[in-house]
A and B are shown apart, each in its own frame.
Chain A
Amino acid sequence: MSENVNKANRTFTDRARDAVQSFGLPRMIIAVFLLVLFIAAPFVGADFWTQVTNLFNRFSWNAVLVLAMVPMVHSGCGLNFGLPLGIISGLLGATLSIEWGFTGLASFVMAVLIATPFALLFGVGYGWLLNKIKGGEMMIATYVGFSSVSFMCMMWLLLPYHKPDMVWGLAGKGLRTTISLEGYYAGVLSRFLQIQIGKLVIPTGALLVFALLAFLMWAFLHTKTGTAMTAVGSNPTFARAAGINIDRTRMLSVVMSTWLAAVGILMYEQGFGFIQLYMAPFNMALPAVSAILIGGASVNKASIANVIIGTILFQGIVTMTPTVMNSMIHMDISEVIRIIVSNGMILYALTRRTEATR
């Protein structure tokens, strides 16, 4: 009753303050900065609609990788710094699908299907490890990610791939660092139902696939098992006292996260148009972690909205800043700026880490 009275008495500034509070001040600042960049873009000679298209593309490439963070955050395993492990499953799926001669959309579907058993296998092993070291997940996850990348650096050379599109030209064996997906699945999703208005191009298909995966994740979190997963992350002792098998729930979340990472990298490749092997997965985890943190997630709470907002803000800043700055000073230092901005955002995001009440 008293609450209603308060609501009636609240002024506009109160409501504005609440809105800022629920959205979060850091997010507000980043969003305003991004807006300023968009407004500034046409004045310094960068085309506005090209920039918007760029943001749409970047979003569609990266969103699934960010979504992969959600299950492990919910089960209390923290942020999945071990994302490269899932990415490697995806890369195995991609390369095997091409090796076995699939092309076009079929090569994408097969890549997902082939990646799945790898993701399950790696996920179970990774989950088993994380269950052994509760409390130190994020540190160990980082090592798992990095060491798996290093191991695969050897394997990409040694595994018996033969497809001429993928192997080194002279030796005839060992995979190249970058493999073009032209003729395979480059753009198969983004070109599906693509909308083009002037210079604005919307990769509808890719966005729809992300929407589907995000919906499935949202739905999962509304089921009995999903509820249990959230409770395990919120207070494991409470969950155990309510008869939940904590280890199994955590394991499930790790497997889900690993599989989403595998699908995520395939989504990235189909947008980007290339498979990047060797050290490339190394640099995929931190941007995804940063994006979800900037989106407002904490170490044990994350929602689909966090994923979407975070990916837009992070990718927006990272792509827009170099373009606008470049056009402003008429000198090509975009790579330098890109590195400064993206690492700066990562650093900033990691300082924003918040944890739940115990």
Chain B
Amino acid sequence: MNAPLLELKNIKKDFFGNQVLTDINLTLNEGEVLGLVGENGAGKSTLMKILFGMNVIRDTGGYGGDVLLNGQKVNFASPFDALAAGIGMVHQEFSLIPGFSATENILLNREPQKKSVVSEVFGQRLNTLDRSAMRKGASDAIEKMGVEIDGEMVINDMPVGHKQFTEIARELSKEQLKLLILDEPTAVLTEREAAALLDSIRGMSSRGIAVIFITHRLQEILNVCDKVVVMRDGEIVKDVAAQETNVTEITRWMVGRSVNAAAASHREPPESDTVMSIRRLWVDMPGETVRDVSLDVRRGEILGIGGLAGQGKLGIPNGVMGLYQAGGTVTFEGKEIPLNAPRKCLDSQLAFVSEDRRGVGLLLDESLEWNIAFPAMQIQDKFLKPLLGGLIKWRDEKAIADVTKRYIDELQIRCTSSRQKAKELSGGNQQKVCLAKAFALEPQFLFVSEPTRGIDVGAKALVLEALKKFNRESGVTIVMISSELEELRQICDRIAIVSGGRIAGILPATDSSEDFGALMVSQVV
């Protein structure tokens, strides 16, 4: 009985000859909280998929090595087996039914049931749901986390943080839960919600539930975990107790080189004319409503837009670029730009890198070449060969391949070839493809929305550096929207803070964090 709860021995995994995990050894005791960190593509997700018995592992030839649960060797054929063995997993993407309430989602397919006359006759499939027992079960699970969520609220109406808690509550409501895997649960949470989540992790561990916690926010790991496991290129490079280390050390292990923490090279903000002016803009973007924004962007600067989640900072670029219903006036280079018409913005040499990489940013099923060249081809007739005197615009495959290769080198996109499908890349590399797509348009003005969301430290530095270089060398005005203030302060000249759908104030990036913090909460609705 003294065997550790979970033991991984010499786990190996390759995808068609491409080694992604080599000799992973790991032990986890009851009630222990393990922080798993590593750059994107380091193999964290693959390891968790093996542990959870995901089909994708079996479909690609299984894995090598042993997984031991309480000293017993196990080999899960499907996630159902893993669930039965007491392993729960909360994924990065929500797997909730939008039209159902929190309670229904939490107890889905495990609802307490009532027998009735009908079900006695026709079998238990016709049992009715025991609503009051369900409410109790769900509220118990929610209570375990120590947060307040209305069990009757429909998922659609919930702020993103509550959705995350609902997912965790679903796992917690399972009686046999022994091990909970949290895959970047805090990525979408505000700081207060994240703090509540960390508290609930501590609560779980005190009740004997072991937790594997994957995140890019290293401070959280140090706050809550007992030990930290650092992965790099499919290997465990470090396995230490959390109190014996610090953020800088972990970062160094992760990237295998020392990262220059926040070495902002500030310059004098360029005093120049206004290139874009936004007046009385409103945008109807669900969850990011913009109420009344007036803003002037100077030529050649990098303007940051920050603020808390849900305050409307994302609505600004989406509205200006015509992706969501908007009103107000936007003038660019002295000419008014019609709203709600994406084509008009693009024709005026504006470009936009969306925060919704998979939804708006990429053609997941197409090659990198298509992803990068497509907008430039459609809008500016680049990469086309005119045939029959311009009557036919033929795709110039060679030019497309060339430009793609150039950006693959320039942005260090990790891929097998320029014809690889976008969906096969990791998050950080997908983000680089999105940037390359915008760069290929050679715009005069670039909106970049959350360029570093969900990507690792190394890729983050590269993305920020690329944006900076693009601004300095090509003289492109950039407006960058980000939830991470530190990141904005690293590369921006000025930072506007959005609060309650309005601009709360614009400060130079060199001002103190406290000033920005005060602005963020000034008009919260």
Question: What is A's interface to B at a CB cutoff of 8 Å?
Answer: 2-3, 6, 9-10, 219, 222-228, 230-231, 234-235, 237-238, 240-245, 300-301, 356-358
5 pairs from A and B in contact (CB 8 Å cutoff): A234-B363, A234-B365, A235-B362, A237-B356, A241-B352
Query: What's the dominant secondary structure at chain B's contact region?
Result: mixed
A242 touches B423 (CB 8 A): no
Tell me the complex Cα distance, A301–B361, Å: 20
Q: Which residue of A lies closest to B421 (CB)?
A: A357
Q: Which residue of B lies closest to A240 (CB)?
A: B342
Q: B356 contacts which chain A residues (CB < 8 A)? A: 237
B321 touches A241 (CB 8 A): yes
Contact of A9 among B17, B360, B379, B416 (CB under 8 A): B17
Contact of A238 among B18, B321, B360 (CB under 8 A): B360
A238 touches B379 (CB 8 A): no
Tell me the complex Cα distance, A223–B362, Å: 20
A243 touches B379 (CB 8 A): yes
Contact of A231 among B354, B370, B381, B416 (CB under 8 A): B370
| Contacts A243-B343, A243-B347; A228 near B378 (Cβ below 8 A) | yes
Highest count of chain B CB atoms <10 Å: which of A222, A242, A244, A300:
A242
Tell me the complex Cα distance, A92–B112, Å: 62
Tell me the complex Cα distance, A356–B366, Å: 10
List CB contacts (< 8 Å) of B349-397 with chain A.
352, 354, 356, 358-366, 370, 374-375, 377-379, 381, 384, 392-395
B323 touches A240 (CB 8 A): yes
A243 touches B378 (CB 8 A): yes
Q: How many residues of B contact A (CB 8 A)?
A: 36
> Is B67 engaged at the interface, CB distance under 8 Å to the other chain?
no
List CB contacts (< 8 Å) of B1-39 with chain A.
16-18
Q: B394 contacts which chain A residues (CB < 8 A)? A: 222-223
| Contacts A9-B17, A231-B363; A224 near B393 (Cβ below 8 A) | yes
Contact of B17 among A10, A222, A358 (CB under 8 A): A10
Tell me the complex Cα distance, A241–B318, Å: 10
B395 touches A243 (CB 8 A): no
Contact of A242 among B16, B358, B374, B381 (CB under 8 A): B374
Question: What is B's interface to A at a CB cutoff of 8 Å?
Answer: 16-18, 321, 323, 342-343, 346-347, 352, 354, 356, 358-366, 370, 374-375, 377-379, 381, 384, 392-395, 416-417, 423
B381 touches A224 (CB 8 A): yes
Q: A237 contacts which chain B residues (CB < 8 A)? A: 356, 359-360
Nearest 4 CB-CB pairings of A with B: A243-B343, A242-B375, A224-B393, A6-B17
A235 touches B363 (CB 8 A): yes
Known: A223-B394, A234-B365. 10 other contacts (CB 8 A): A6-B17, A10-B17, A238-B361, A241-B354, A242-B342, A243-B342, A243-B343, A243-B378, A356-B365, A358-B359
Contact of B393 among A3, A223, A234, A242 (CB under 8 A): A223
Q: Which residue of B lies closest to A228 (CB)?
A: B378
B377 touches A227 (CB 8 A): yes
Contact of B360 among A10, A226, A241 (CB under 8 A): A241
Q: Which residue of B lies closest to A300 (CB)?
A: B365
Q: A231 contacts which chain B residues (CB < 8 A)? A: 363, 366, 370, 374, 378
A227 touches B395 (CB 8 A): yes
**In the assembled complex, how far is the CB of residue B366 from the closest CB belonging to chain A, in whole angstroms?**
6
**In the assembled complex, how far is the CB of residue A222 from the closest CB belonging to chain B, in whole angstroms?**
5
Contact of B377 among A224, A300, A301 (CB under 8 A): A224
Tell me the complex Cα distance, A235–B374, Å: 12
**In the assembled complex, how far is the CB of residue B186 from the closest CB belonging to chain A, in whole angstroms?**
25
**In the assembled complex, how far is the CB of residue B482 from the closest CB belonging to chain A, in whole angstroms?**
19
Contact of A2 among B18, B323, B366, B375 (CB under 8 A): B18
Q: Which residue of B lies closest to A357 (CB)?
A: B364
Tell me the complex Cα distance, A9–B392, Å: 44
**In the assembled complex, how far is the CB of residue A306 from the closest CB belonging to chain B, in whole angstroms?**
15
Tell me the complex Cα distance, A268–B413, Å: 50
Q: Which residue of A lies closest to B417 (CB)?
A: A3
Q: A225 contacts which chain B residues (CB < 8 A)? A: 393
Tell me the complex Cα distance, A238–B384, Å: 20
Q: A230 contacts which chain B residues (CB < 8 A)? A: 366
Q: A244 contacts which chain B residues (CB < 8 A)? A: 343, 378
**In the assembled complex, how far is the CB of residue B20 from the closest CB belonging to chain A, in whole angstroms?**
12
**In the assembled complex, how far is the CB of residue B385 from the closest CB belonging to chain A, in whole angstroms?**
10
Q: A3 contacts which chain B residues (CB < 8 A)? A: 416-417
Q: Which residue of A lies closest to B19 (CB)?
A: A2
**In the assembled complex, how far is the CB of residue A34 from the closest CB belonging to chain B, in whole angstroms?**
28
Q: A223 contacts which chain B residues (CB < 8 A)? A: 392-395
| Contacts A2-B18, A223-B394, A357-B423; A242 near B365 (Cβ below 8 A) | no
Q: B395 contacts which chain A residues (CB < 8 A)? A: 222-224, 226-227
Q: Which residue of B lies closest to A2 (CB)?
A: B18
